[in-house]
Structure 1
Amino acid sequence: MWQEQGNLTNAFGDLTFGSSWQDTPDCSENSLVSQLQTTLDLQQQLDIFSMSAGRALTLNGLTLKTALGEFQATGSKAGEYQHKTSLSLDQQVLAELSYESQYPFTPLVQQQLLILESEWLFSLRNALVVSRLQQMALKDPLTTLGNRRFFDDSFAKAVQLAKRHQSPFALLLLDLDNFKQVNDIEGHSIGDDVLLKVADCMRETLRVTDSLFRFGGDEFAVLLTDTDAEHAERVAERLLSAIKSESFLVKLGVGCSIGLARLSHEQQPRDLFHLADEALYQAKSSGKGKVRHSQVSRANLTDKLTHPMRVAS
């Protein structure tokens, strides 16, 4: 489960604490240990820890780097002095902490921080385990893209946020062309390789901030925000071109069709999804290997909401 942390060990080194602190942890009501035990959320634990660390030295910022991602304490900013340390438990590196302050990290301050860090280790490990399990539950096991459950949640939140801030947002739906034939003729192992290549093309073509998903089968989705949403057709064409030019996919005759829909103020997530779905149907029915931007008006959605798209691969 924690194979990723082996990389952290190589990158960050190791830090082993003595056993004395483990034997008698302070679990009084107001202790750091008891406060950390109230949550398994990594961001909340970091904010709790930063408040205690701030009593040892006034901090400008605090960053936690883990195999699951990077987190910053609320309000963090750069400081003149930096201090880094690795957090390890049972000879396993859990994370790296990076402190920022306007004041130097004297040996006494470092010792005080070390004591506080030792009080965080068990709660941090538990939070990392839970976060890892949550991530696994939301990822497609083959491609490691988000799964349908993750898409439903992310899509609804992204639409709500875009409408609140009146920022551009677009949805791309992808369906592979000729995948079924390749899967049937070449076998599922080659079919899996195709899906992995497509996922790699998506990661390499799109921004880190764009959200990528695999629904299952050969269906994918992309959530585009801000600048990329304004130029969604250009992004979709770039993605289509990347998949068309991938040598492994070219050899097997696999391409993709893409349906695109942009969010308007009156639309709900369900409306936007069906507009993109209709655009994908248009791309498939017009000869495949194309990008289509839905021109369906909201008034014409009534029938489409109750009739799911049917396309041939």
Structure 2
Amino acid sequence: MQTLNVLDNRFSPFNTYSTLSTDALVAETFTNTIFDKRQILALMTQLQTTLDIDELLSIFAVEATRYVDFSGLYFKSQNLNTVLFGSRKAKKEQCFELKIEDNFIGTLSYGINSPISLTNFKVLEQLHLCLLHPIKNAIAYHTAMQLAMQDGLTGLGNRRYFDEQLKRSMHNANRHHSLVGLVLGDLNKFKAINDTHGHIAGDTVLQEFANVLRLCTRDSDSLFRFGGDEFAIIVENANDTALAIIENRINLALASNVQLNKYQLGCSIGSTFMNRADNELSFFERADEILYRRKMQVSSHLSVV
């Protein structure tokens, strides 16, 4: 990812150019401006090389920062928020709505320390025309990937997403010398709920348990359902007590949740921190072994009872 020094640019003199129809953007020629057709086609070609929203912002910012002084760039749509790498806090933000005809795509905001001149404002509006369709395609791609990585019943991440996120989180922890923890959970007596009350009741239990996990974790923690009644939490930038706190919260939430408590639902939990010798398999297997021992303890206790 390219880091931009967006405060130290010297702007070239320019005139605004004519408004373009987004349906014929490639065919149109920019007139009465320092932009020539080759510049615009080069920008549009670059923007069409990726469906990654972060890369799109980076490519676009390289061009925009030639003309406008900004210290941050932020894009927000209904289901997607992203920030240009290297963005810094500014005194205020200048927000632009991105639309294709009457269809709202999102907002693009610039962090600025001084007002944008009318001329620069108009230039940005025209530059945004080059961004409209690439960013719309990137949003559609992001949405499709999210669905592919999502468990349809609970809305949590699926096993495929877990495998990718675990690898990424371990890499980041090694790079930044931070703690990453893994929590595995397996519901107790879930099969009995399905057998006694039916699969609809079982699905409701899984959905409610997913909600419990959301309440017991931070927004920065990643939640997953493997299928069946198996769940996982990846805890990045953790401290020494983070996993114990999450486990305690889950147990308290289950005890106080009216909907789950009527089924006397419990959860066996195995948690551990990554060590520097771990790979994804060893990290997972250690947490799974702790979970298995906890599960056996619960089974032994139920047998005695």
Q: Does 1:185 pair with 2:186?
A: no
**How many residues are treated as equivalent by the alignment?**
273
Equivalent position SS for 2:69: coil
More divergent stretch after superposition (151-160 vs 281-290) = 281-290
Q: Check 1:285–1:73 CA distance in 2 against 1; reply closer, same or farther (3 A cut).
A: same
Mapping 1:1-313, distance limit 5 Å:
20-25=21-26, 30-31=39-40, 32-228=43-239, 230-287=241-298
Runs of 4+ in 1 over 4 A off after TM superposition: 26-29
CA separation of 1:107 and 1:179: change in aligned 2, threshold 3 A: same
Deviation (angstroms), 1:217? 0.6
**Letter of the aligned partner of 1:22 in structure 2?**
D
What letter matches 1:136 in structure 2?
Answer: L
1:247 and 1:65, CA in 2 relative to 1: closer, same or farther beyond 3 A?
A: same
Structure 2, unpaired ranges of 5+: 1-18, 29-36
Other structure's SS at 1:100 match:
strand
| Identical amino acids, percent of aligned pairs | 33
RMSD of equivalent CA atoms: 2.2
**Structure-2 separation of matches of 1:215 and 1:21:** 43
Superposed CA deviations along residues 84-106 of structure 1, whole A, max 9, x for unmatched, are 12112242221111111223123
Deviations 1:165-224 (A, max 9, x none): 332222111001111111122222211111111111111110011111000011000111
TM-score of the pair, normalised by structure 2:
0.83
Extract unaligned runs of 5+ from structure 1: 1-17, 291-313
Aligned partners of 2:209, 2:188: CA distance in 1, in Å? 12
Following superposition, the deviation at residue 108 of structure 1 comes to 2.4
Q: Tell me how far apart the structure 1 counterparts of residues 294 and 200 of structure 2 sit (CA, whole Å).
A: 28
CA separation in 1, counterparts of 2:210 and 2:38? 48
Aligned counterpart, 1:9: none
2: CA distance between counterparts of 1:227 and 1:153? Answer: 19
Q: Which has the greater radius of gyration?
A: 2
Per the TM alignment, residue 230 of structure 1 is displaced from its structure 2 partner at its CA by: 4.2
SS of structure 2 residue aligned to 1:173: strand
How many angstroms does 1:288 deviate by? 6.1
Conserved 8 A contact 2:154-2:207: yes
CA contact (8 A) 2:92 2:113 kept: yes
Instruction: Encode CA deviations 1:117-171: one digit per residue, 9 max, x unaligned.
Output: 1221111111111111111111111111110001111112222322333322221
State the Cα deviation string for residues 286-306 of structure 1 (Å, max 9, x = none).
Answer: 12699xxxxxxxxxxxxxxxx
Letter in 1 for 2:255: K
Would the aligned equivalents of 2:25 and 2:130 in 1 still touch at CA under 8 Å?
A: no
1:4 corresponds in structure 2 to none
Which whole-Å CA distance do the structure 2 matches of 1:79 and 1:194 have between them? 46
Change (3 A) 1:63 1:248: same
Task: Report the alpha carbon displacement of residue 284 of structure 1 after superposing the two structures with TM.
Answer: 1.3
Moved more, 78-87 or 281-290: 281-290
Structure-1 separation of matches of 2:299 and 2:251: 11
Say if 1:170 and 1:229, in contact at 8 Å, map to a contact too: no
CA distance in 1, matches of 2:148, 2:38: 34
CA distance in structure 2 between the partners assigned to 1:203 and 1:287 by the alignment: 24
SS of structure 2 residue aligned to 1:68: coil
